[in-house]
Structure 1
């Protein structure tokens, strides 16, 4: 007999109706990413934003900036009158930076129009700042971020960002930072560069204003102690080494073997990291991100290479010829603000035994058929690790 509408369960009918409504609304919707201030503090990359930690929402194309402020209030508790919203824009060099402030004069602008004016692909990206006590005049002010390159640790530290007048001398900024770092005025001075991309920096003159140096919203100034014994070639090599390190960083997406399409968490790791080291990092990440409630022996973690077309491929992380992440990196060539960094997707399975011990033994599979024992062990297959050189029997398995 043909299937009739009344033959379909009510819960399925509701689901079908919801899917139809969603499909009808889809052309009217657009995505937006909200970046809150806390996401800027620890990031060291050229965009100083962790896009994977941004809050992604769906809004209507006809929603206005005022509507967006109400959504921000609901998500963060920050009242509309205290919000300072900055729009990110994509640049031709592949970076994405804070571009312009959306003040009250923009409240009636639709989000579709706002996104179009920035020449940014989907999604619309907004930086949400607590604007209490802050005022920005786009004609005379500029939003600038600061980093400090520590020669000893070879680490580029994010110091923060602030709104400055465009006519301020770069030398005045340098002097202020020297005092805050408690540097000796006679022997310790700072040099300043503009960070353009991961591959390009530009030295700035201290007798120029920000406007003269063409420093705009979202630009990054990098400070470093001047070294009189250091040649320009040495300095270039130091900075090149730092950016070479940054270029080696990849995002490792960690997923469960049984759910290979959803991230548990994402780690920043060097592409030269060996798989056995990766297992140790994942063990730490599982505890940090509360995937487990207590520390996990990294030797119990089995790694799998993600496979979009089938079952993930098992990896032998503990063999003498164990590979590095480099051979599995998915390179990214897109020049977009939403382009992810090169990445690796690893699936993990937490085993009931140590994989390191497995090299010196074997796994014995067995099933309990005794009715009494099955009440304790259940009607399922069991595994036990038996050291090599032992002739294991069923009795050994039961004792194990």
Structure 2
């Protein structure tokens, strides 16, 4: 027979266990509560807990777009009308422009005709990247126009990249572009009418530059476009004035619409590599939306941003999503919706504003473009502006979070 004190202790343990199980059951039944509990038990990491793997200056500040090549060797980013092209694997502490194999300078710092670079995107295979710039009424004489520049990656020949083709498109601001997964075509919305609402989506052949397809849609401004990973469909988000806002799925063989999601306009539509996850950041709301990439059923709406996200990025394996406005950066686990990283610019002495971000295709790194204060310890030789690119070891951040 148990002594009375041991019997009471055993009862206390059972009560605590029962209470804990009951709390977990209740939490699992309430949306978001279990996630909030996990965030309390295992709080998100802050960027100032880690040193960046590499940093680099940009020519000027106010970075709008950035992307990393599929092989992880190069980063393209923009400030104003300047496209900066970086060699990530340089042995220098501060990585810089690509250099030719013979050691001579091959600085890639191309200037687009317009100041507002809306999009920079590497192709999935990595032989090209596409840049879209829009006119600024104040600096560009009040004209409304867009310009596309397709760059050919030629670093295997000793040169980082070169202009392959350009398109001047008047009468429209292009919000987004896309390159097909097989690198045969690239696409943009090139014509719009307000009443009745219509949008003409144009497809160019990469090799010839000829228009090889077009889709006319009864929608207005395309805020984001992307191909499905199998290249058989195109997905576009539209910001309409008359028709409902919506995300539309087009079959590329027939041009027909096979799926429509009634949703306020979104930016940065992107699929995971296997097509199982689709994400986007809201244009007007401070949220990021995750859908099942096969059924298109909505899975999560991620909250926590101060403003609508300026940049949304999904890891290739679909496990993590990063969103940022100029004041806030968050990395979530897409399955559990736990916050892995959460930082505010005003609490970091090396960030004035977050601008854009992305994951490397292998998931090892995250790339963050930001504006830094002059007194930042990372600005050792102040350039003409304070735009910077930081590369963090994401695997190290994950190890630290899950330890």
Q: With structure 1 as the length reference, what TM-score do the two structures score?
A: 0.25
Q: Between the two structures, name the one with larger relative contact order (CA 8 Å, sep ≥ 6).
A: 2
Q: Judging by fraction of residues, say which structure has more strand.
A: 2
Higher-Rg structure is 1
Q: Judging by fraction of residues, say which structure has more helix.
A: 1
